[in-house]
Amino acid sequence: MDYLSQFPFFITVFPVGLVFWILGFYFVNHPPKKINPLMGYRTPRSMKNQESWDFAQIYSSELFKKYGALMMFVSFLDFFMPAIGAGTKVSLGVVAVIIPIAYIIYQTERTLKEKFGDKK
């Protein structure tokens, strides 16, 4: 059985969800200590000062754990939608990956703005 062609939504979404979930656990326990341009949740608002950086690392990591688990769960829907074409399933998989990423950024930025404001 060729799982890639039979379950493309699962193959697209589950591994990304697993990586999100693992990275979420890792960064909750080992967040980047200092503001840096290479690793961690890096946006202008999160990099304004050390306090917002520290908060953003933990907050976004918790969201990564939550939405990674949700993505892994949702990926199993592929086993119950056999009538949908493979191309459509891949497209739905891409959307199922992009939406959590966008929401994690939106939610973290909104919370940073509420907690720290827009002051420099």
- Tally of domains in the chain: 1
**3/9 Cα distance (integer angstroms):** 10
Give the three-state DSSP class for 83: coil
* pLDDT tens digits along 6-17: 889 999 999 999
Task: Decide: 109 and 87 in contact? Cβ < 8 Å.
Answer: no
Q: What percent of the chain has pLDDT over 90?
A: 78
Location of structure tokens 């979930």: 21
What's the pLDDT at 2? 61
Closest CA to 9 of 91, 101, 67: 91
* pLDDT tens digits along 25-76: 999 999 999 999 899 999 999 999 999 999 999 999 999 999 999 999 999 9
Q: Please, is 96 exposed, middle or buried when counting C-beta atoms within 10 Å of its C-beta (0-12, 13-18, 19+)? A: buried
For residue 52, the enclosing domain spans 3-116
